[in-house]
Amino acid sequence: MSTQLPEPRLTKAYRLEATLGPALDVGDVDRGRRGIVPLTGGTFTGTAMSGKLLPGASADWQIIADDGTAFGDIRYTLETDRGELLYVQSRGVRHGSAEVLAGLGRGEDIDPSEYVFRTSTQIETAAADLDWLNKGVFIGVAGRQPGGVIYETYLVE
C-alpha cells in the first residue's frame, strides 16, 4: 500500500460579484468590532450554473480586530437561472498592512493583490443535479470593491 496521497486540485465552481449595503455597526465586542454588512444583490457565473444573489437572505457578520484584520461569517443565498436555491456559508479572513486595511475600511478601491482575503466554504442545496455541491470542499479568494465584493469559489478535488 502506498503512503503517498494525491495532491489536491482546484476547479473554479463560480464567481460571485455582489453589491453591498450600508454596514450595521453593532459595536465593540470581546474579539473586536462587530459589523453586519448586507449583500444586497449580484450575479454569479460558473461552468455548471449561474444566477443571482438573493437580497434579504445574505450578509457578512464580521469582526474587525484592533489591527484591522476582518474575520467574516459570510452567509448568502443564490438562485440559479433554473430556480434552484443554494445556501452558502463561508468563514473568511482578510488581512494586510495597516495602511491597506485602513483604505479598505474607508471604501477605497485597492488592488486585491495588496491584501489577503480567503474563505473556506460549504454549500447546501436540495437540487438533485447539484448534489455534488453538498459533498464538496470549497475554498475561495475574494476582493473588496467600493460598494461590492467579488468571491471566486473553488472546489478542492
pLDDT above 80: residue 1: no
Hey, what domains does the chain have and what are their CATH numbers?
10-156 (2.40.160.20)
Q: Quick count: other Cβ atoms within 10 Å of Cβ 83? A: 8
Q: Taking all residues of the chain, what is their mean pLDDT, rounded to a whole number?
A: 96
Q: What is the pLDDT of residues 82-116, one digit of tens each?
A: 999 999 999 999 999 999 999 988 889 999 999 99
Q: What is the pLDDT of residues 25-55, one digit of tens each?
A: 999 999 999 999 999 999 999 989 999 999 9
Q: What does the block give as the cell for 40?
A: 444586497
pTM for the full predicted model: 0.93
Cα dist. 118→28, 45, 80, 139 in Å?
24, 19, 24, 7
DSSP 22-40: PPEEEEEETTEEEEEEEEE
